[in-house]
Each structure stands twice: as structure tokens, then as C-alpha cells.
Structure 1
Amino acid sequence: MQPAWGPWALALLVAVPLQALAADPLPSWNDGLVKQAIVGFVTRATTQGGPGYVPPDERIATFDNDGTLWQEQPVVQGAFLLEQVKARVKQDASLAKRQPFKAVLEGDVALLSTMDEPQLMELFAATHGGKTQEEFAREARAFFQTARHPKLGVPYTQLAYAPMLELLQYLRANGFQTWISSGGGMDFMRVISEDTYGIPPQQVIGSSLQERFDEGDGHPVLRREARLDHLNDKAGKPVGIEQHIGRRPVFAAGNVRSGGDIQMLQYTHEQPRPGFALLINHDDAAREFAYAEKNGASLKAAREGGWTVVSMRQDWRRIFPEER
């Protein structure tokens, strides 16, 4: 499988005729129970006077990023850190003997693909402590301009899932605020969130390093510390949502990888007015990748909680914005 790609993931919206969008807001989703459940929830949430009506100011939707909005084999943040670690080791050779730095330098792509968020944030702290926010943003933007997926050969920003881009647009068209709540680095995602997903940087929640105000000889800046401030993974996700939004989501989407989205989906679904919990199952080896948790924790939680589970193989007509 070798996809053909346009300049940006959001270009798929241009390719879809307006009349088709009006008739079917989710054209990349196959007709079936999952699509019906999504449309049914949004219809109930926006039908004033109905039992499922959600006032506009409460229509909050949160999305995990890696493996939910775009691919995560490898984790994009890990690929970025590969370049950063190489530069850091030139300054401190002792890091070359420590894991996960050693594996990064040896090109252990398998390890990078399985790294969890705490490991990634450890690398962030080691490589970016002391840098200003502006310096970090410049490095992240430079990475996205040149980096390509090792297997698919296209920019990472073109690997957003077409069905999820449509879902984001569909929710916004119905008065929902769409937020990212990811275990990945918050500042890393903010660099590309608006161009890739239509989500402004202020609506991105993620893991973060501590920061300090530095007057900088009359030029004040925010400087990143080599210490973790918040790990927005697993039980940290509801905490981050409360800190940034101040409202419980009524719609949330995650995926099956490390169990990192379970608590966010539980937090969304289990409330006086049941929310909608969507879990993406990576079961399409032909068009993307097939993988799952060893203990099956996310799928087990979905069965017990009555969440809606997406089979990428069965429920998505296409995966990426442009496919042959």
C-alpha cells in the first residue's frame, strides 16, 4: 500500500463536494452501527427539548492524538526526539550509555514505536531543558517541514485520519468545541494542531515541562525546565481536562495502545447525562497497522462501559485523506 497525498490533511475537505457533505457529513465512514451511533448522539445533543439535548456551552469533545487523530507507528514525537537526542549527546556523551537514549542512537525503531509517554517526556526534559518556548517551537516546525514517515514516505502532517478529520468538522458544525487531550508533549502538538486538525493551540492539552519566566536582559521569555510539570496520560487526562477546560466532556475519543485513554473515556461516559465514548481499534494491517494491548485493557473497558468501538478495517471506507 502506497498512498498518494495532497499538501495538507485538511485538503480532503476540498475534494468532497459540498452537496455530499450536506447529504453525508461522514463520507469516509462506512454505513453501520458505529456511524449510526455517532450521528444519533449528535442529533440528540442538538435537538432542543429532547431528552439528550446538550446546551451549546456544554458541548465539549476531547480527542487523544497519537493513534486517534493520526498514526502512531512510530510515535511522531519519538521521531522528533531522535534528531534532538543526537544533538544532545554531542554535548553530553554520558547520555549515550543510558536508556532510552542508547536505543535512540542505535536506531532502535522498534523501541521508539513502543515507548510510553513517561519515557518520551524524560527525553523531552533532557533535550529541551533550558530552551525558550520560541526556540523549541522553531525546532518543532523545522522537523515537520522536512521529516517523512519511514514506511509511507510522506510528511507526518499528512497522516491524519480522514474519518477523524470529518468527525472533527461534523462536531464543530454542530456547535461542539473540539479539544486535543493527549499524552504527547503539549507544545509539540500546538505547532501543527490548527493547520492539521483545525484545532487552535489554546485547545490543546498535553504533557508539559515546568517553565519559568526569564526577563532575558530586558527581553522576557518563558524558559523550559528539565522537570516534568504534568503527565497528561491515563489518570492524568481527566485532571488536565479539568485544569484547562473546567467542564467534563460529553464526547471523547481514544484508541487501543497502552490503556492511556481509558480514564478519559470513563470520565466522559460515566456522568449524570451519559457522554459518548469512542475507541479506535487498530485492526487494519493492509491499509495502516494492526496492533493491540497485550492485556486488552481498553477493549475490556469498552465492553464493560458500553463504549462505541471503531474497527478501522470495517468502519472506515478510507483511512488517509487521499488513497489510491
Structure 2
Amino acid sequence: MLSDGASIRWCGLLSALIAIMSLAFPPSQSVAQSDPLPSWNEGPAKQSIVSFVAKVTKIGEPDFVPQERRIAVFDNDGTLWAEQPIYFQLAFAMDMIKSMAPSHPQWANEQPFKAVLDGDRKELAASGEKGLLDIVAATHAGMSTDAFNALVDGWLKTAKHPRFKRLYTELVYQPMLELLEYLRANGFKTFIVSGGGVEFMRCFAERAYGIPPEQVVGSSGVVKFELGADGKAQLIKEAKVAFIDDGPGKPVGINRFIGRRPIFAFGNSDGDQQMLEWTASGDDLQFMGLVHHTDAEREYAYDRDSRIGKLDKALDEATSKGWTVVDMKADWKTIFPPQKEVPR
């Protein structure tokens, strides 16, 4: 135990050390140099995010939101990763159709399979939602969920985007990765709420975004439980749709699988409009955001006339209600993460 004199000298030394450190690392300088969103250009979009987070996380402020209510939801296609020229899950399904075609010779004369085999995107687009469901049913149904996950995982490790020549999982948006981390660092729980297949997204969401499988809400097919010949329990995918998590289905999915209304929501298309409206109707301070694809050089430029990720009515509502619209060309310094060098 220190004597009174030694205690006084120790306290004095400690105070002096703290004073020296405060001069070397002043708090204002530390905050000024720390930018949680370095890939975002300074402007209204970035400022609206930072301002919102500050308001809802500062204890004592009128807009403070307890941590358990800090729910943030994100669409996936076109919001967290690219979606042109076709949805990436559809690209997967098309590759599966091609690999399975030798066992299904009738597909050579049967739509939409003929369009896939012929590379006829116009005919494929004309088949609409029914055609997409037929393709998904043909490639996904009849196998166990474990087998499906293995197929998706293998495809994601090798398949590359036709324009960028990079793995699809490398075409995530760097600014949105930073936003996800920023929100989580401030006590938010981040979810994906997307029209894509829930099992497809769960194969990569944690690796790509840091979002675990249980925080992914998506469209789903019917699965049935059965015991295999070896007695092992498994879930088998059927050619039936159980839930479409798009448009008005998104608020329903949030209510069913999350159980709390979000205070932060980001999308990029009319399919996200109801999710943003549901968020905007809450009692806490809310943030609603849209990614507007305006950069044809670094990514793609599209909105009202696009078959993929159409942004029309939601853009009008965002403009009239003051939601945050992120102009990809103006607001993002970079689009995708740097490409990793391949070891020689």
C-alpha cells in the first residue's frame, strides 16, 4: 500500500501524463480525422445520414432512440450490390438451365427455357414473372436445401459478371459496406429485406455484408421435411412459391420475420416504395433512402424505363417527401471495392 506522499506523487504524475496526451491528441482533431464514410462525397446525402445517426444515438436528445429499436433494413439487388443487366440470381438460374439442358431435350422448344438456351434476353424478359418462376422452379425444386446451398456457393466462387469480369460477390457497393458498418458501430441491427430468394442470399450475405442468415428476409419457396434413405433429416425444395418479399410484401415480411418497424430503410426501386412508406409511418425519427443509378461509366444509369430495378413512383415520392436520394455519380467516390490482386 502506498504512503500518503507516494500517493500524491503518483496522482501528480498521472495527471501530468494525461495532460501531455491531451495536447498530443486533442479530441477535436481526432473526430475531424475520423470519417466513417470515406467513399461518400461530402454533400446532402452523406450529411443526412450522419445527422440522422447523431440524433437518434445521443442520449438526452429529443430524437434519441433506444438501441433495441434501431432497426435498419436494406434491399439487396441494386442497393447493396449491382443488378444489371439481369438479377444475379436469375444469372445463376440460367447457368443451371444450361447445365441441366442435356437431361431435358424438350427445353429446346419450350419457353422460357428456349430463350435461356438461345441467349434471347428480349424473349426472356417478355416471359415476365411467370417465366422467372418457371426457371427458378426447374433449377431449384426437388433438391435438398443443403444441396442447393452447395450449388450456389460453388457458382458464386466461379461465375463472373459479363461486363466487369469480376465475381458477383465482388460487385457489392463499397459506400454501402461502409454504411452498414457505421450503423452497426452505432448500435443498429442491420437486415436485408429483398425480393431475391432468401436461401440464395443467405449463402453470401454474412461473408459479403456482415449480415447473418437469420437477419435476411426474402422471397421463399415451399420446403418439406423428410427423412432420407439414410435416415438423415432434410428439407426438400418444392416448385411452389410460399412468399414474395417485394412491393407491399416487404412490410409484411418485416412484420412477420423482424417484428419491429425499422427507423432506417434503403432501397433503389419501386419495389422498395412500400418498405420506405412503412418505415416513414413510425413514431421514432426515421430515415428513408434511395440509391439512384446515374453512373453509366462506372456502373449503370437507369431508372423510370428500366425492366430491372425500375425507379419511377418511388422517386417521385422521395422528391415530394424529402427522402434522401443518393446520386451514384455525384455522391459516391468509388462504386466497388478495389479488385484483389491474384498471387503469381
User: In which range does the TM-score fall when normalised by the shorter chain?
Assistant: 0.7 to 0.9
Structure 1 alignment gaps of length 5 or more: 1-18
Q: Give the aligned partner of residue 318 of structure 1.
A: 334
1:37 aligns with 2:53: no
Q: Give the aligned partner of residue 166 of structure 2.
A: 154
1:254 aligns with 2:257: no
Give 3-state SS (helix, strand or coil) of 2:247's partner. coil
Q: CA deviation at 1:188?
A: 0.6
Q: CA deviation at 1:82?
A: 1.0
Q: CA deviation at 1:273?
A: 2.4
Corresponding residue to 2:70 among 46, 59, 71: 59
1:169 aligns with 2:181: yes
Q: 1:157 to 1:44 in 2, by over 3 A?
A: same
**TM-score, length of structure 2 as denominator length:** 0.83
Deviating above 4 A after TM superposition, structure 1's stretches of 4 or more consecutive aligned residues are: 19-22, 109-119
Q: In the TM superposition, what whole-angstrom CA distance separates every residue of 1:77-98 from its partner, at most 9, and x where no partner exists? A: 1110111112343333334434
**Matches of 1:180 and 1:287, distance apart in 2:** 25
Give 3-state SS (helix, strand or coil) of 1:169's partner. helix
**Matches of 2:123 and 2:246, distance apart in 1:** 19
Q: CA deviation at 1:139?
A: 0.5
Q: 1:66 to 1:113 in 2, by over 3 A?
A: farther
Q: Give the aligned partner of residue 223 of structure 2.
A: 211
**Matches of 1:89 and 1:250, distance apart in 2:** 46
Q: CA deviation at 1:103?
A: 1.7
Please tell me the residue identity of whatever aligns with 2:62. Answer: P
Give 3-state SS (helix, strand or coil) of 2:119's partner. coil
Q: Give the aligned partner of residue 14 of structure 1.
A: none
Q: 1:241 to 1:182 in 2, by over 3 A?
A: same
Identity among equivalent positions (%) equals 48
**Matches of 1:118 and 1:249, distance apart in 2:** 31
Q: 1:311 to 1:42 in 2, by over 3 A?
A: same
The correspondence of residues 1-324 of structure 1 with structure 2, limited to 5 A, is 23-73=34-84, 74-109=86-121, 119-217=131-229, 218-256=231-269, 259-294=270-305, 296-322=312-338
**TM-score, length of structure 1 as denominator length:** 0.88
Q: Decide whether the 8 Å contact of 2:124 with 2:131 is kept in 1.
A: no
Q: 1:301 to 1:155 in 2, by over 3 A?
A: same
Q: Decide whether the 8 Å contact of 1:250 with 1:268 is kept in 2.
A: yes
Q: CA deviation at 1:109?
A: 4.5
**Matches of 2:113 and 2:146, distance apart in 1:** 25
Q: In the TM superposition, what whole-angstrom CA distance separates every residue of 1:92-116 from its partner, at most 9, and x where no partner exists? A: 3334434332221111346668987
**Matches of 2:335 and 2:122, distance apart in 1:** 23
Give 3-state SS (helix, strand or coil) of 1:260's partner. helix
**Matches of 2:32 and 2:244, distance apart in 1:** 38
Structure 2 alignment gaps of length 5 or more: 1-29, 306-310, 340-344
Paired residues in the alignment total 304
Larger Rg: 2
Which segment drifts farther, 117-126 or 311-320?
117-126
Q: 1:112 to 1:278 in 2, by over 3 A?
A: farther
